[in-house]
A = this chain, B = another copy of it.
Amino acid sequence: MSKQHQRTRSDHASEIAEDYVEAIADFIADKDVCRSGDLVRHFNVTHATVNNTIARLERDGFVTTAPYQPIALTARGRRLATACRKRHETVEAFLLKIGVSPATAVIDSEGIEHHVSRETLDAMKRILSDGWPDEVAGGSRRGDGLH
């Protein structure tokens, strides 16, 4: 019992870090630098909150900062950002694939992404690239064989 809940709790601990490095990487890709004000607007939280969060990220080795300078990602931060962006994109694309509207897919994927294990992510990717799995006996039988 309760392996689930421990996983959910630990997912939440890394969730903020994941969203921040992803956003920082996006700003850097987009306009070459990321300032804390960019994150204030992006996450819709206060300057003080961004400052505290960035301090934790620096403590944990994901970013480097200097007073009044842009925020830079460490190699570790870049690795995490890339992995998170891919995972996020997969989850969002999968929601669209099952018929969810674009607006809802954007919102739901933002929360869901952090709780998707490697195995579930692979299942989603497989469906996105190979199509729906074959229905096993007892199912409602609709798509017939392949394509």
> Hey, which bits of chain A sit against chain B, CB under 8 A?
1-8, 11-12, 15, 19, 41-44, 95-101, 104, 106-112, 114-117, 119-120, 123-124, 126-127, 130-135, 139-143, 147
Pair A135/B140 contact, Cβ less than 8 Å: no
Residues of B within 8 A of A98 (CB): 120, 123-124, 127, 133, 140
Are A111 and B7 also in contact (CB < 8 A) when A98-B133, A135-B147, A142-B99 are? yes
- Chain B residues with CB under 8 Å of A12's CB are 12
Cα of A96 to Cα of B119 in the assembled complex, Å? 11
Q: Which residues of B contact A132 (CB under 8 A)?
A: 132, 135, 142-143
Sample 9 A-B pairs with CB under 8 A, ordered by A number: A1-B44, A5-B19, A8-B110, A8-B111, A98-B140, A100-B123, A107-B117, A131-B141, A132-B143
Contact status of A120 and B140, CB under 8 A, knowing A12-B12, A98-B133, A147-B135: no
CA distance A42 to B104 in the complex (A): 33
From the candidates B7, B41, B104, B134, name the one contacting A107 in the complex (CB within 8 A): B7
* B104–A140 CB distance below 8 A: no
